[in-house]
Amino acid sequence: MSLRILTLSLTAAVALAVAGCASSTEQEKRAATGGLIGAGVGALAGQAIGGNTGATVAGAAGGAILGAVIGSATTPQGERYCKYRGKNGSIYTAPCPDGY
């Protein structure tokens, strides 16, 4: 039971931390989402295979790393947009300069 509470608490803390990243780039968001999904799947697989806390933690860590890498690598590489601040203080997006 304590492992379940620890896992849920950790997942909730990470979800709140990721939700606070409203200004993240698409690649960062995809990496974070992939990491969360990977950690969950890895923890389930580790528990199913090893049946103990060590296997669950190892599965979660491996899944998080792999999920983050895959999430980051699968980001579409279309035209990039940057955020700018106008003279009146408003923030707007426009295509980034070449080489950015």
Number of helices followed by number of strands (H, E) in the chain: 3, 2
**pTM for this prediction:** 0.57
What confidence tens digit (pLDDT) does each residue in 77-86 have?
A: 777 789 999 9
> pLDDT at position 84, please?
93
CA distance 60 to 62: 6
> pLDDT at position 78, please?
74
Report, in angstroms and rounded to the nearest whole number, the Rg of the chain calculated over CA atoms: 18
> pLDDT at position 89, please?
92
DSSP letter, residue 97: P
Tell me how crowded residue 25 is: count the other CB atoms within 10 A of its CB: 12
Low-confidence ranges of the chain (pLDDT < 70): 1, 5-6, 8-10, 12-23, 100
SS3 content of the chain, % helix, strand, coil (to 5): 65, 10, 25
Burial of 85 from C-beta contacts in 10 A (0-12 / 13-18 / 19+):
exposed
> pLDDT at position 19, please?
61
> pLDDT at position 29, please?
92
